[in-house]
Structure 1
């Protein structure tokens, strides 16, 4: 999704794809393992800046790129906080960023102690590698984590699991921003995210009732993180809004994020264009909205029969104002294979319209 933005900005975009036939094939100039140092160094030999669409590139490879004189944005120091949730929680506490109570637990007894102190229920996370509900589970008894502790022990790598209090929240929000190497930053309006089965299903921007103090607090938190972690590029801060009106940081991502896909059609500058501007150290674009409300609906799993493309004529005819984005991925249950953006003036109506378009692609008529 950065390809059209790169063309418009006059940037020569090159992609190291993980496999032949990947969705990035349009711009792929190399295929290889991002965990292999020689592969990455060879790919980066003729580029000015290396950036990422996920946070999993190992630290030693990032450091080797810097040693070879390649600009890495975001840099290894910043990206480490998105790679390891315990490192992130530790740094957020140092910065005074609000978050849930947490601990690094290395065995069943430490988890039992945390549960006893926090109402008998908690959220357990693997510090690395989790996304879209993977590597996250709610536990109400320590023995429910026996398999995860065994996996940590068998890996031979000293470590721990992250446990957090189970936050009583009213909704989930996301603050999207972007920052250049020199510190210039820009922020989009606060958005609401709706989860289904641990996966983001819908985003509404701006979030209803978010003007004023709530938006100001979300912006303050994002600025603390952007400057405190020295982030470069687009980033997202996922937040819980509690019943007493506080905001707590749940997760963060240092890349264009699913919560920001609405910006493609609902904002003056999309998160993908802004990311390229930021990592290329170009002036950032305006982030104002193009409509009072934009709703993004993820297409999860795809149609039961046929392909997404088979559904295009019906969706286009019934909803000519909807913007459809296809990832070119093979459908499977729960997988994000595309999304729809719909804009309008009234939130309820726009949400209903986005869900109706989604239903066409999922063969549903509910």
Structure 2
């Protein structure tokens, strides 16, 4: 009997684990939130990942549980561990991807470079931080935010008054995270894979381009990256993976500042948008690597296959018809570019797929990737 990996969450990350699972002979099973999700091909169960009994029932038929997202509540994760289920990454690690205040505090303990930050519980506390940091700051909800959601740039404490009101009405009121507004030169991402026995491999640091809080492009490796930057990014990624006990893929989002500091922005403990380039551009893509890691198999080489890889997200999709309706024209014009669709209906701002181009000249690779992605607009 083949080994069985259960993925909680039926989104595009679970979908993209299917092909490498087939290649490795892994029986991939998915607990989807509803019918018809991106990973429907492997969905063996549909249910609420917030319900202990639902997730426990799903886990009884698999050897390892992993995740398409970080939103499974801690009580559910702890129940899995208590039931003897192998969970990767485990709850002790995932808590730092689920709660940004815990993440900031733990990264301080590990000595990681970060923006100045604080926990604030009212408008006055936020205003004091803003005034102490040049008149502007970034305020975040500690839990649940992604792709620009739950993040605001503010210049007055009152600009987050509604969030403080919501906190006060919560059964367990907490605090918001406020950070200095970092004058960054660009955003980077460092991916590391770590197996339960401690083996680690690091991918090249990449440059990411954000639009409206959503990753639009990833360039691998990061252009104009000095040897020092590459080394520092890798050391940060490996230190966080080790220090937090991450198993599986870890993505560390970074700021490269105008004064040449490298600061940790956020963490993701799963395959990540910044690593989609690796499907076509690396010896071992991140989705295969994640499966290897959570199963404690020997990790694959993360080395690039080409001098440059550029990933461009397909955001929103066509105003009429399906994403796949545009495939013939896109593939005919640029046959060397790889297209990945997510089986999602078009919707403004939604990630419905991505394209990856590879080659020896960065300008040519960027042009090809952007031209193909434009076919789906």
TM-score norm. by structure 2 comes to 0.95
> Corresponding residue for 1:215?
230
- Equivalent runs, 1:151-300 vs 2, <5 Å: 151-300=166-315
> Corresponding residue for 1:76?
91
C-alpha distance in 1, partners of 2:367/2:333?
A: 14
C-alpha distance in 1, partners of 2:290/2:242?
A: 16
> Corresponding residue for 2:13?
none
Alignment partner of 2:358 out of 321, 343, 346: 343
Describe the superposition over 1:129-173 as per-residue Cα deviations: whole angstroms up to 9, x where unpaired.
Answer: 000000001001111111111111112222000000000010000
C-alpha distance in 1, partners of 2:323/2:175?
A: 41
C-alpha distance in 1, partners of 2:60/2:376?
A: 42
C-alpha distance in 2, partners of 1:331/1:89?
A: 36
**Offset at 1:210?**
1.7
C-alpha distance in 1, partners of 2:77/2:262?
A: 33
C-alpha distance in 2, partners of 1:323/1:69?
A: 41
Matched, 1:146 2:161: yes
Alignment partner of 1:124 out of 117, 131, 139: 139
**Offset at 1:211?**
4.2
Alignment partner of 2:79 out of 64, 67, 72: 64
**Offset at 1:80?**
0.2
TM-score norm. by structure 1 comes to 0.98
C-alpha distance in 2, partners of 1:42/1:360?
A: 43
| CA RMSD across the alignment | 0.7
| Aligned CA distance change for structure 1 residues 9 and 211 (closer, same or farther; 3 Å) | farther
**Gaps in structure 1 of 5+ consecutive residues:** none
SS at the partner of 1:81?
helix
C-alpha distance in 1, partners of 2:50/2:111?
A: 34
**Gaps in structure 2 of 5+ consecutive residues:** 1-15
> Corresponding residue for 2:64?
49
Alignment partner of 1:136 out of 151, 157, 163: 151
C-alpha distance in 2, partners of 1:124/1:331?
A: 30
SS at the partner of 2:254?
strand
C-alpha distance in 2, partners of 1:145/1:133?
A: 15
